Structure 1
Amino acid sequence: MTELKRKLQGIWPNSLFSRLAFVWILALLLGHLINNVYGYISIHEDQIARTDYYLTKDLSVLLPILDAATPSERKLWMEKMQRHAYRYELSTVAPDYLATSTSKWTNPHRRHGLADPLKEELATSYAARSSAGISPGEMGRLYFSLKDGAVLIAIINKTVWPVDWGAGLVFALQMLAVITFTWLAVKQATRPLQRLAEAADTLGSSLHGEAIPEDGPSEVARAAAAFNAMQAQIKEHLAERVHILASISHDLQTPITRMRLRAELMDDGSLQEKMLNDLDAMQQLVEEGITYARSARRTTEEVCRVDIDALLDSLVCDYVDAQHAVRLSGEIGTILSSRPNTLRRIIINLIDNALKFAGDVEIQLGRISPGQISVSVLDRGPGIPDSEMAAVLQPFYRVENSRNRKTGGTGLGLAIAQQLALAVNGSITLSNRDGGGLEAKLIFPVAAETK
């Protein structure tokens, strides 16, 4: 049962258009089949009835003429009376059962039976019997014994089923019309659904999607209205959360500064050092909280022309000047349209995160497709467990559960990079490298220009 279900699912079309077209065409084909079968049966019955009628009429005329005609005249009359549905032959040898015939008529093989009153007259005047056809093209045979002992054989041909090529052409035109109008109807019905799906993708990636038009069929319009309401509520909730984070982080700066001044006045050197270290950690957390809050808001940076090769080269030079082992490989070779400051902040966060856990960092620049660029930051640090790959991109999540800021960090570096990546319609993916280490890859779309 499962195997059959899987096969049926493989045959069943996937898109709405293909499914509707398949159902309409199947219904149209079934309707034509029923109509044609009924028409063919009716035509077949009519052909049989007409054959019976005209054969009876012809025999009522032909048999008396053949009795009175000479052999040469008989041949001429038989040729003249040949029809498309039946023909005549003359035999000098009568079948055995015809010799003992009575006036009783039998027709055991086919429905042809000369069912008019003339049938009884012919059966009374002539010894007659019927049999099945001998050759493949025959439906049956009727035998009549003439007065001189000759036998007239009426051979009834099989009914030819009519082939109406015009009906096939009409069916093909109907299928074409069904497919065309189904495509138009599905396009009109699914256009709002496509907008709804695109808006859902935008909401899931950046939370900055615009409200979608609430038009189309009533069901789709209601779904669009519900989606717009949900999107507005999510934006409001996230904006409130970010505002709270920014406000708390900002307000903490003043007491931290006062505590730092008071710590400077302490006489106990060891206690003063511990206090200042704690304040530094708090200050770092506050600053990164403010940075995250700002990154969660929509960027106001305009799209402009960017030389990504020069941007990354300058970043690497800055790190090298600061005595960090950072190197760059790969080249694009074209001017791109993007947001340079946002890209710079993303890559700096990824490099800083890699330097925190590894002493050597490599940046690989490449092109995935004509409209997509990838920047990979690779290190040979401890890596991240696969079960926590998605969690580390969330704010304040740290793989290391210790409170040591030097090793555990604040848990905002990758979250900020992820928020900034959404601002350039990009994404960040993390994966462990063979042999140890982590690869953080930024993928973002660009519009290329000739350099």
Structure 2
Amino acid sequence: MSLSRLSGTLFIRLAILVVLAVLASQAFTLWLTAQQKSELLARQLYAQVLDTLADYEGVLEPLPVSQREAFLKNNNIPGIPRLLPLSATPPHDSPAPNVAKPLAQWLTEAVGEPVNVYFARGERRELWIKVPMLDSHYWLVMPMRRYLPPALLPTLQAAGLMALLSVLAAFALAWRTTRPLSHLAAAARDLESGRTPPTVPVQGPREVREVIERFNTMAQALDKAASERRLMLAGLSHDLRTPLTRLKLAVELQDEQAEKEGMLSDIDEMSRIVGQFIDFARSEEMRPQTPLALGELIDNVLDKFRRDGMGIDGECSDATINGDALSLQRLLSNLLENARRYGVAPFSVGLQHDATHCTLRVHDSGSGIAPHLQQAALTPFERLAAHRGSDGGSGLGLSIVTRIVTQHGGTLHFDFPPDGGFSVVISLPLAA
């Protein structure tokens, strides 16, 4: 199956839809988790900043202003929250973590003036916050090791594992949903080709099960109707043959008269029409197909027509197909009978094959079927206007051929070769 056809299947579309939904939900979950984690860390940092400021204010307030800076320098211990005088050098303004922005906003609201937050990247990651205290401003340095979000790698690994499991589950779900539809499509193809499909297993979602149940019921009803039609047509044809035989015998026993030959000819035409009705009814039956040598079968049919006085050139290669010998004999006989009845001598039959298919060509030197009438010629009981009511035909010959070709998985088309004449070309798959 080509990539374009595969991409258009319901299975792929369902799988892609579920995969995209899973990936979108995973991405949204990761983003939401990161946002909530950042907000939680920012609130914890904000609470510690307020507690630290309150502690330092309680310690510095009793001290004289001259002693406060010395006290702060003595307590400048890296790694713990500490207060520094403004004379200390702040870090360069660099991109701060996500917790810095909400922290600055909350502190601004708490102290009633803009609060600047700087982030120091280095051996120790710290926030430098310029805050007012005791009618002055100080640097509050907060270590960030506790408040930086943890590495996302474990989270991404877990999310990737869950996404993979979800994708596998999506493919399994899509496969279980579309498999009954694939079985239904295969059964519909069998029904279209004239074969009675096996009962499709009823499985899948409720709507799909209902469709399969209705299809099985329809297929059984069609098979029953076709069986009744075949039985009626075969019975009618059989019942007509008996009085026709008696009528022909009675005419033959009569004395010679001018109308005798014409009456016998009409009776023979009626018998041939009845025979075509029987062939048309039988062509609906699916007979077992076995490997057979198509070239040998064609030679046997050609010998029969040659014995009847029809000159036919035959050139057939060896080709083995899976088929029903009786149906294929009927197919070739109908084509040769049409060529003899409506075509022009000389006649020829050829069989060629390649690696996968064989091509049967029945050729005559007549003008053939006009392109605008070719589709009508393949329709049951549809006879071309030029021969309507004048040849004793029933309009079933090519319909029988078409049905047999379809049952054997082949194709039929008409051809006007460059060197003249008209050909019916049939392509059949070779046996594996």
Question: Aligned pair in 2 of structure 1 residues 31, 228: CA closer, same or farther (>3 Å)?
Answer: closer
Contact 2:321 2:429 in 1 (8 A): no
Q: Distance in 2 between matches of 1:310 and 1:76?
A: 113
Q: Which of the residues 328, 350, 367 maps onto 1:363?
A: 350
Q: Equivalent residue for 1:256? A: 244
Q: Closer, same or farther in 2 for the Cα pair 1:15/1:129, shift >3 Å?
A: closer
| Matched residue SS, 1:431 | strand
Deviation readout 1:121-140 (Å, 9 max, x if unpaired): xxxxxxx9744769999998
Are the equivalent residues in 2 in contact too, given 1:303–1:338 (CA < 8 A)? Answer: yes
After TM superposition, give the deviation of residue 323 of structure 1 in Å. 5.0
Aligned partners of 1:384 and 1:432 also within 8 Å: no
**Any conservation in 2 of the 1:393–1:415 contact (CA below 8 Å)?**
yes
Tell me whether 1:414 sits opposite 2:408 in the alignment: no
Q: Percent identity?
A: 23
Amino acid at match of 2:156: G
Match of 1:231 among 187, 195, 219: 219
* Paired residues of 1:351 and 1:361 also in contact (CA < 8 A): no
* 1:80 and 2:65 aligned: no
* Deviation sequence 1:94-136 (CA, Å, 0-9, x none): 9xxxxxxxxxxxx9x94152777xx69xxxxxxx974476999
Match of 1:211 among 168, 181, 199: 199
- Residues 195-344 of structure 1 aligned to structure 2 (within 5 Å): 195-214=183-202, 218-264=206-252, 265=254, 268-269=257-258, 271-299=259-287, 303-313=289-299, 315=301, 322=309, 324-328=311-315, 331-332=318-319, 335-344=320-329
- Please give the residue correspondences for 1:95-174 in structure 2 after superposition, counting only pairs within 5 Å: 110-113=104-107, 130-131=115-116, 142=130, 153=139, 164-174=152-162
Local SS of the residue matching 1:111: helix
| Distance across 2 between alignment mates of 1:285 and 1:89 | 118
Distance 1:303 1:241, change over 3 A: closer
Instruction: Sort the Cα spacing of 1:185 and 1:361 in 2 relative to 1 into closer, same or farther, 3 A.
Output: same
- Rounded to whole Å, the distance in 1 between the matches of 2:143 and 2:372 is 81
Structure 1 residue 18 and structure 2 residue 12: aligned?
A: yes
**Paired position in structure 2 for 1:102:** none
Whether the 8 Å CA contact 1:305–1:336 is kept in 2: the answer is yes
Structure 1, unpaired ranges of 5+ = 1-9, 95-106, 121-127
Query: Is the 1:52–1:115 contact (alpha carbons within 8 Å) kept by the matching residues of 2?
Result: no
SS in 2 for 1:394: coil
- The alpha carbon displacement at 1:218 in A equals 4.8
Query: Which residue of structure 2 aligns with residue 349 of structure 1?
Result: 334
Q: Does 1:382 align with 2:380?
A: no
Cα distance change, pair 310–57 in 1 and its aligned pair in 2 (3 A): same
Q: Given residue 353 of structure 1, which amino acid in structure 2 is its aligned partner?
A: N
Distance 1:420 1:17 in 2: 34
Query: Take 2:184 and 2:88, find their aligned partners in 1: how far apart are those partners?
Result: 88
Secondary structure of residue in 2 paired with 1:113: helix
- C-alpha separation between the residues in 1 aligned to 2:206 and 2:114? 74
- 1:203 to partner: Cα distance: 1.8
Amino acid at match of 1:412: L
1: CA distance, partners of 2:204 / 2:116: 70
Please state if 1:442 is matched with 2:429. Answer: no
1:346-379 C-alpha deviation (Å, 9 max, x unpaired)? 233233334432433342422463xx54434345
CA distance in 1, matches of 2:365, 2:157: 70
Confirm or deny that 1:397 pairs with 2:382.
Answer: yes
User: Structure 2: how far apart are the matches of 1:317 and 1:217?
Assistant: 58
Letter in 1 for 2:324: R
2:394 maps to amino acid: T
> 1:339/1:387 Cα in 2 relative to 1: closer, same or farther (>3 Å)?
same
**Cα deviation digits, residues 317-367 of structure 1 (max 9, x gap):** 6666755243336554xx554433432332332333344324333424224
The 5 Å alignment of 1:415-430 reads 415-423=399-407, 425-430=408-413
Secondary structure at the counterpart of residue 107 of structure 2:
coil
Opposite residue 253 of structure 1, the aligned amino acid is R
Mark the CA change 1:354 to 1:173 in structure 2 (over 3 Å): closer, same or farther.
farther
Residue of structure 2 equivalent to 1:39: 33
Deviation at 1:439, TM superposition (A): 4.6
**Offset, 1:89:** 8.3
C-alpha separation between the residues in 1 aligned to 2:89 and 2:323?
103
1:129–1:142 CA contact under 8 A, matched in 2: no
Distance 1:281 1:317, change over 3 A: closer
Please state whether the residue corresponding to 2:381 is helix, strand or coil: coil
One-letter amino acid matched to 2:315: L
**Residue in structure 1 matched with residue 97 of structure 2 by the alignment:** none
Partner residue of 2:414? 431
Q: TM-score when scaled to structure 2?
A: 0.72
- How many residues are paired up? 403
Specify whether residues 346 and 26 from structure 1 end up closer, same or farther in structure 2 by C-alpha distance, changes over 3 A only: same
The answer to whether the 8 Å contact 2:402/2:412 transfers is no
Distance in 1 (alpha carbons) for counterparts of 2:105 and 2:267 = 110
Residue 27 (str. 1) matches residue 21 (str. 2) = yes
Q: Aligned letter for 1:178?
A: S
Q: Which residue of 1 aligns with 2:42?
A: 48
SS in 1 for 2:385: coil
> What is the distance in 2 between the residues matched to 1:314 and 1:199?
35
Question: How many angstroms apart in 1 are the aligned matches of 2:177 and 2:171?
Answer: 10
* TM-score, normalised by the number of residues in structure 1: 0.69
Q: Contact (CA 8 Å) 2:73, 2:84: kept in 1 or not?
A: no
